[in-house]
Amino acid sequence: MRSGSNLEQALESGRFAVTAEIGPPRSASAERIRTHARQMKGCADAFNLTDNQTAMSRMSSIACAVVLLQDGLEPVVQMTCRDRNRIALQGDVLGASALGVRNILCLSGDHQTFGSMKEAKNVYDLDSIQLLMVLRRMRDEGKLWSGDELEVAPKLFLGAAANPFADPFEYRVIRLAKKIKAGADFIQTQSIYDMQRFERWMSLVREKGLHQKVHILAGVMPLKSHKTALYMKNKVSGMCVPDSIIDRLRRASDPKEEGIQMCVEQIQHLRDIEGIRGVHIMAPAWEEKVPEIVRRAGLSSIS
């Protein structure tokens, strides 16, 4: 065990794991995080806290993680390379670890021109792969990247993202391999709608034996309407949404219910793909639906 986190235990035991995403509020009150915690407790092994998602300032992912810990939920702290240099990132990881955070997801981060403060200066001192290298050294060698010894090394379970729907397609598996080489213990994928492309990617992953070197959690995101689906398809870079999904939502009498049902079906399908060790559910501003999705997908056996 590298970190002893729930998530690590679940994945190492071979049980199909569930993680879910919680979006920190644009607020100085943690009330909404506590509400989400109450709603979602017990429905997943760990809960991702996004890091200033879409490049907009929100409550810090580490602060939210501590709120979750107080309520007995296990956090996955997302860290992007957009806003902090290696000095701040390593310092924050030490602090997070001291407060009980074990799972860290290393990301490059959305470019700040997506957010409400486009004119901000970005950092990108490291990229996501380099952040993995740095955090692995902290954990395994008990050293900062500079080589300075740490008094106590952090216990970390290191995650990274993979997007099988971005281009160039053939490179996506090479990039996954690179992330594993750099220190990723688990992978959460971009939300999957184009099942064919995902399976094509997974077969390349298996061909290289990567599914045996890393725990892959397949990402899903329930859609509220065909308009949301169209937005995902047209406006979100690195997203594939097949027309059949958009049509199904357009035809549905209750699109929200249809979206949930589709998500449940996707989870059931993904579960049977060789090499998939769990599912990562992202329902931004719709977090309260996650327990229902988990139950309906038959994943309610979680601790």
Partner 1 sequence: MIVGEQKPLEEIFRMLSGHERILVAGCRSCVAVCHAGGEKEVSILAEALRLRASLANHPWKVEEITVERQCEREWVEAMGPLVKGKDAVLSLACGVGAQTVQVLYPRIRVLPGLNTSHMGAPDMPGVFVEKCGGCGDCLLHLTGGICPIARCAKSLLNGPCGGSQNGRCEISPEVPCAWDQIVRSLEAMGRSDLLEEPIPPKSWLTARDGGPRRTVIPTAVISEEQRKMKGERP
Residues engaged in binding partner 1 (CB under 8 A) = 81-82, 86, 108-111, 113-114, 122, 124-130, 133-134, 145, 161-163, 165-168, 171, 174-175, 177-178, 181-182, 190, 237-238
CB of 127 to partner 1, least distance (A): 4
Minimum gap (Å) between residue 145 Cβ and partner 1: 6
C-beta closer to partner 1: residue 206 or 233: 233
**Residue 159's closest CA among 141, 182, 193?**
182
Task: Locate all alpha helices (DSSP H) within the chain, ordered by sequence.
Answer: 6-13, 31-40, 61-70, 86-98, 128-141, 169-182, 195-207, 226-235, 243-251, 255-271, 290-296
CB of 191 to partner 1, least distance (A): 11
**Closer residue to partner 1 in complex, CB, 77/81:** 81
- Largest Cα–Cα separation, the chain: 61
Q: How far apart are CA 241 and CA 95, in angstroms?
A: 39
Q: Among residues 64 and 126, whose Cβ is nearest to partner 1?
A: 126
Strand partners, 22: 49
Which whole-number Å values give the CA distances from 263 to 52, 53, 94, in the listed order?
A: 26, 22, 36
From the CB of 123, what's the least distance to partner 1, in Å? 9
Taking the complex as a whole, the smallest distance from the CB of residue 136 to partner 1 amounts, in Å, to 11
> Alpha-carbon distance 303 to 300, whole Å?
9
- Crossing angle (nearest 10°) for helices 128-141 and 169-182: 20
Per DSSP, the chain holds a count of helices (H) and strands (E) of: 11, 8
| Closest distance of CB 209 from partner 1, Å | 14
Closer residue to partner 1, CB minimum distance, 134 or 217: 134
Which of 31, 167 has the CB closer to partner 1?
167
Q: Is the separation of the CB atoms in 142 and 153 below 8 Å?
A: yes
Q: Which is nearer to partner 1, 37 or 158 (CB)?
A: 158
